[in-house]
Copies of this chain bind each other. A is one copy, B any other.
């Protein structure tokens, strides 16, 4: 982590920035180690200000002591009680004589932006920096890959412990709770995201929230889950079918599994996100289900459960070695159900390294 601030200052130098305000919560953790969560959209546990020779973590009085304890190498500064973040930033910028302030327009609220304009009126230029900070997170370090691998292993273990215990009469909610308990028992600090269990027709909703529907027999049950370990996420989807699959369930499941296999066999560093997506999409099209694969193939996973890169149609950016990617094709048929299978992989020069080891059902 020690190298992250110097790397960021180098990028600031390239853009001619005297200072940079970091409001994205994942970037805040990545740069500082400060773990507190926000209450979105407008209640932030803190923001980071980096200048040429200063690193500040600005937090409300409630969280100031925790910021001080966690953010090594940062000066913890109390956010102005009445005038908020903008007043504190303006004061620190004045202290450093900073004139060009970068800000993350994809992680800054309009009200905050206007307050910054007001508080620095005529003295500071505000420069939208896009993904300048987030891009630092794209290529994972060895330490980060080790944390992600631990989160994946915990998730695999939790799925493996619960899968044999699933029964047709259990509800989605009961199954999700078994999985959440297993995640914690396997060593998760928390869920990386709310566990999805979607049975029967609910499988048509990729982000279904578990309810009172019994798991049932014959139709796919989509299970999407992930542990958070040491600040890093895992993301795993398996589809289970209890009892004898219907013909359509078998056909859909096999098409999705073939898409996973095609993507994992074909993806390598340098391929575009769009081309990666096309590998899986082609396999699903071959089975006649291309209209029902309604999302992209996958996304990076790290501090955040959805982060760059993105493997989806139209993305011309090459997938870099050292990035993570989910391979998660799915088929979603309204009023019938759906199926998704997801592995988490690391992009390497010659191909992908599949982290996820949870067993896939053979139907």
Contact = CB atoms under 8 A, between A and B. Distances in A.
A357 interface: no
B43 A306 contact: yes
Contacts of A206: 62-63
A125 to B, nearest CB: 15
A109 interface: yes
Identical copies in the complex:
2
Interface stretch (A32-40, A93-101, A243-251, A259-267): A32-40
Given A38-B40, A65-B205, A109 B105 contact: yes
B36 A207 contact: yes
Interface string A109-120: 111011000000
Nearest to A205: B66
Interface residues of A, number: 55
The prevalent SS among residues of A at the interface is loop
Nearest to A181: B181
Contact of A41 (B41, B66, B103, B207): B41
Contact of A110 (B65, B105, B207, B294): B105
Contacts of A2: none
Residue of A61, A81, A194, A207 contacting most chain B CB atoms (<10 Å): A207
A354 interface: no
Given A62-B294, A65-B334, A177-B184, A207 B107 contact: no
20 contacts: A24-B41, A25-B41, A36-B209, A37-B194, A40-B40, A41-B41, A41-B106, A63-B205, A66-B208, A81-B314, A82-B314, A105-B109, A105-B114, A106-B109, A106-B111, A109-B109, A110-B110, A110-B113, A180-B184, A190-B194
Interface of A: 23-25, 35-43, 45, 60-66, 69, 81-82, 103, 105-111, 113-114, 128, 177, 180-181, 184, 190, 193-194, 204-209, 294-295, 304-306, 314, 332, 334
